[in-house]
Chains A and B, each alone.
Chain A
Amino acid sequence: MTDDGLAHAIAERVRNCPGVAALSGGPYGTVATYLPGARLHGVAVRDDEVEIAIIARGGRPVYITADEVRAAIAPLVGGRPVNVTIDDLEDS
Chain B
Amino acid sequence: MIVSDTMPRDTGGSATTVPRARTQGASSLVTEQGRTTIADGVVSKIAGLAAREVEGVYDMGGGTARALGAMRGMVGGDKSVAQGVQVEVGERQAAVDLDLVVEYGAAIPDLAGAVRRNVIVAIERMTGLEVTEVNVSVNDVHLPESPRSREDAGPRESRVQ
Contact = CB atoms under 8 A, between A and B. Distances in A.
Interface of A: 27, 49-50, 56, 58, 60-63, 66-67, 70, 74, 81-89, 91
A83 B125 CA distance: 20
Contact of B45 (A60, A81, A83, A89): A89
Contacts of B36: 62-63, 66-67, 83-86
Interface of B: 28-29, 32-39, 41-42, 45-46, 81, 125-128
**8 shortest interchain CB distances as A-B pairs:** A63-B128, A81-B34, A82-B34, A66-B36, A85-B37, A83-B35, A86-B38, A83-B34
Nearest to B35: A83
A47 B113 CA distance: 48
Contacts of B32: 81
Nearest to B32: A81
Given A62-B127, A62-B128, A70 B34 contact: yes
A85 B39 contact: yes
Contacts of B126: 60-62
A82 B126 CA distance: 20
B20 to A, nearest CB: 15
B127 A63 contact: yes
Contacts of A88: 39, 41-42, 45
17 contacts: A58-B45, A62-B126, A63-B36, A66-B36, A70-B34, A81-B32, A81-B33, A83-B34, A84-B37, A85-B38, A85-B39, A86-B37, A87-B41, A87-B42, A88-B41, A88-B42, A89-B41
Contacts of B125: 61
Contacts of B38: 62-63, 85-86
A77 to B, nearest CB: 9
A70 B33 contact: yes
Nearest to A86: B38
A80 B5 CA distance: 46
A11 B19 CA distance: 38
A86 B39 CA distance: 6
Contacts of B127: 61-63, 86
A63 B28 contact: yes
Nearest to A79: B33
B103 to A, nearest CB: 25
